[in-house]
Structure 1
Amino acid sequence: MRKSEIINKLSEDHNISLDVAKKLVEEVLSWIVQKTAEEGRVEIRGFGVFKLKRRNGRFTKNPKTGIEMYIEDRYLISFKPSKKLLKKLNEEI
């Protein structure tokens, strides 16, 4: 499912305009990104946890050229689904 499909479904189900639905979805996603960056963790009960993970820098080789280069430290976001979500997904299979 894409973001546009979420916006359309929200608009249909709650009888709101597409503009309002788009602003709501954008605001929620923006808030999740902002809070994850600030606090390192966002928990949505019944859905899961977004967690910030730090990856250390490392040396690696370009397989095509064989040149060794350094990849800087970086952050990744991981998602751990809740038990409730996993149970729901496994029931539908």
Structure 2
Amino acid sequence: MTAAGSVTRADLADSVHREIGLSRTESADLVEQVLEQVSVSLVAGQNVKISSFGSFVLREKGLRVGRNPKTGVEVPIEPRTVLTFRPSQLLREAINQD
């Protein structure tokens, strides 16, 4: 884990190397392949569900009116697709354990 508390691709590859015993190169390739497949699926418009972890869900947001906080002028916000993450119940419980 980095100093900022984020897990990087290198951290994931290192964990795969330690836990499974693949070479560092194979571990890095495996992590890249998994992340690439998740990305390709999302770009294709498919939601991604990883059992016991959570779901990456694409959601369509319609045209709406926003407001510039400094000037108060109303501005149209174009329709777009947003990506959300919904943790599984197991992950939610693990995070909230005291």
Q: If the length of structure 2 is used for normalisation, what is the TM-score?
A: 0.72
State the match for 1:28 in structure 2: 34
Query: Is 1:17–2:17 an aligned residue pair?
Result: no
- Structure 2 counterpart of 1:2: 8
Give the match's secondary structure for 1:6. helix
In the alignment, the residues of structure 2 paired with residue 90 and residue 59 of structure 1 have an alpha-carbon distance, to the nearest angstrom, of 36
* Counterpart for residue 47 of structure 1: 53
Quick check: 44-53 or 61-70, which moved more?
Answer: 61-70
Measured against aligned partners, the alpha-carbon deviations of 1:33-76 in whole angstroms (never above 9, x if no partner) come to: 21223243111111111111123345556667888765443222
Identity %: 29
Larger relative helix fraction: 1
Aligned 1:46-85 pairs, distance under 5 A: 46-58=52-64, 60=66, 71-85=77-91
- Runs (5+) with no aligned partner, structure 2: 1-6
User: What do you get for the CA RMSD once the two structures are aligned?
Assistant: 2.2
- Give the total of aligned pairs: 92
Give yes or no for contact 1:37–1:52 (8 Å, CA) kept in 2.
Answer: no
Please list every run of 5 or more consecutive structure 1 residues that lacks an aligned counterpart in the other structure: none
